Amino acid sequence: MELLQEINRIQGTSFTLIERYSDGEQGAFAIADGCDRRCVLKWSAGTHRVSRLEEARAVTDLLRGIGYPAPRYLFIGSAFEGAYSIQVALPGSPMHRLTVMYVSRLLEINALQVGKALLGQQDWHSEVVNTVLRGGDGYCLHPSLLQYSPDTVDLLRELQALVSAHEDEPHRTNDIVHGDFQLANILVHEQQISGVIDWDAPFAGDCAFDIATLLFYAYDEPTLRELLWQHLLQRASLNLLSVYMAHLILRQVDWSLRFYDQGTIERYLSRGRTILQDITQRTQTSH
């Protein structure tokens, strides 16, 4: 593998390729060092991403120091007009199904992110708002919804109206935010949560957003849905949570339209509508 050979040359290391991971959206490689320790190599286009990876290393070092199961970055650098990172592989495999037991532990882990943002970290709230109102960089793209059907055009307009109405809602600004706290990034080993991975773009903001991400992906499970709603409403206003859910709906619908099959598209369109209906109902009930 040419990339790994170049990294070994730059770093003076002797990593060998094991395999490419079959899951994940961006692609990662299992590699081994000279002592057969398993590590993870990730690469993405654009050398400007090196600074974000250095920030990720600082954030994960801080979190590991307070008991958070975050990975350790060994090497970060640039090669082939992109940025790479090598992390020590954590034990376990991605969580396939969320349970009440796991929710309890994830809430404990999430609490470790409160108030720990580093000085100068990028602001997550503005990212959430801007992606819905103007579109994101590589994700939360608007053209996919604007071109798919009249229903997805209406959905985008509804999401934008919701965010426009509540974008100035008071929110926390100094928590560490993972930003993609979904099951694929949560590792389980022997029925214990062994790691939270994919920290390549951490932000500063309200870490309740990460629990809102869990809620979005658990929405078909009534018990978990109600449990997570009740937890979140103790931490943030319904208006603020509406902004978070609008971003998550757009993110997943756009991604599905561009990369997934018809069944997946319909599932997330339906989920988005259900969430918006629930928000409307909860708003009416609270008045």
Question: Is CATH 3.90.1200.10 the classification given to domain 94-286?
Answer: yes
Record the pTM. 0.95
Distance separating alpha carbons of residues 64 and 247, to the nearest angstrom? 29
| 215, amino acid identity | L
pLDDT at 25: 54
DSSP-assigned letters across all residues of 175-186: EEE-S--SGGGE
Residue holding tokens 């999401």?
Answer: 159
| Sequence-separated contacts (24+) of 147-152 with Cβ below 8 Å | 148/257, 151/269, 152/253, 152/257, 152/269
pLDDT digits (tens, 9 = 90+) for 136-158: 999 999 999 999 999 999 999 99
pLDDT at 22: 78
pLDDT digits (tens, 9 = 90+) for 186-238: 999 999 999 999 999 999 999 999 999 999 999 999 999 999 999 999 999 99
pLDDT at 26: 58
pLDDT at 287: 72
Q: Domain 2-89 maps to which CATH number in 3.30.565.10, 3.40.50.150, 3.30.200.20, 3.30.420.40? A: 3.30.200.20
* 108-136 b/e (C-beta count within 10 Å ≥ 16 → b): ebbebbeebbeeebbebbebbbbbbeeeb
Distance separating alpha carbons of residues 278 and 238, to the nearest angstrom? 11
pLDDT at 172: 98
Token output for 69: 């199961």
Distances (CA, A) of 157 to 46, 133, 221, 252: 32, 9, 27, 16
- Mean pLDDT over all residues of the chain? 97
Per-residue pLDDT of the chain in tens (287 residues, 90 and over written 9): 899 999 999 999 999 999 998 775 556 999 999 999 999 999 999 999 999 999 999 999 999 999 999 999 999 999 999 999 999 999 999 999 999 999 999 999 999 999 999 999 999 999 999 999 999 999 999 999 999 999 999 999 999 999 999 999 999 999 999 999 999 999 999 999 999 999 999 999 999 999 999 999 999 999 999 999 999 999 999 999 999 999 999 999 999 999 999 999 999 999 999 999 999 999 999 87
Q: Where in the chain is the domain with CATH 3.30.200.20?
A: 2-89
Q: Where in the chain is the domain with CATH 3.90.1200.10?
A: 94-286
